[in-house]
Amino acid sequence: MIAFLAAAVSAWTFSVNADPITDTKIAVIQAFDTKKKVIISLRCENPGSGHITLFATSSEYLGGKGGRQNARNIIYRVDEQIPSMMTGIYRGNDVAVLGYEDMASFLRSAETVKSRIALRFETYSGEYVDAIIPASGAIQNFRKITEFCQER
């Protein structure tokens, strides 16, 4: 019974909320890493745009004050695939991936995840913060946010 309940809990969650000022619907999927030190969120703030943005918040200070001058690499690996890289804009404990090509590549890799997504964030001092996100619920929720973001 306990094994069944554990299997039923999804690491990734999906929600849709309305912006309190514009009433625009915003879709979000998110998951914590296995150590509960990093939360990853993918957001679509403009239905029909097809543009999804990745945000990560770490309990560790990553550094940076926002803007392109604070861009650093994020290395990610889905299951046993070859590691890939995308560019993040760092600010304090947060990082955002805004580039369309980076996000498209990440989503193509992640939509087939079977066990985990590993991410490595570079801090301001050149050290790394690693996050391992379990796959449970990922594929369904990646599909939900992609479909939401393509709808008008």
Measure the CA–CA gap between 139 and 76, rounded to whole angstroms. 17
What's the token pair of residue 61? 């200070």
What's the token pair of residue 70? 């604070």
pTM, 2 dp: 0.85
Instruction: Tell me the CB-side half-sphere exposure of residue 33, using CA atoms within 13 A.
Output: 19
- Whether 97 has a pLDDT exceeding 80, the answer reads yes
- Whether 5 has a pLDDT exceeding 60, the answer reads no
Alpha helices, H only, 57-133: 100-110
Give the position of tokens 């570079």.
122
- Whether 146 has a pLDDT exceeding 80, the answer reads yes
Structure confidence by residue, pLDDT tens digits, 16-36 = 999 999 998 999 999 999 999
Which residues, in sequence order, are CB contacts of 139 under 8 Å at separation 6+?
111, 112, 113
Quickly count: other Cβ atoms within 10 Å of residue 68's Cβ: 8
Which residues, in sequence order, are CB contacts of 80 under 8 Å at separation 6+?
none
Measure the CA–CA gap between 119 and 137, rounded to whole angstroms. 18
In the chain, % of residues over pLDDT 70: 92
Residues shown for the chain: 152
Which pLDDT score is estimated for 4? 40
Measure the CA–CA gap between 86 and 117, rounded to whole angstroms. 14
Q: What confidence category does residue 2 fall into, taking pLDDT thresholds of 50, 70 and 90?
A: very low
- Whether 6 has a pLDDT exceeding 50, the answer reads no
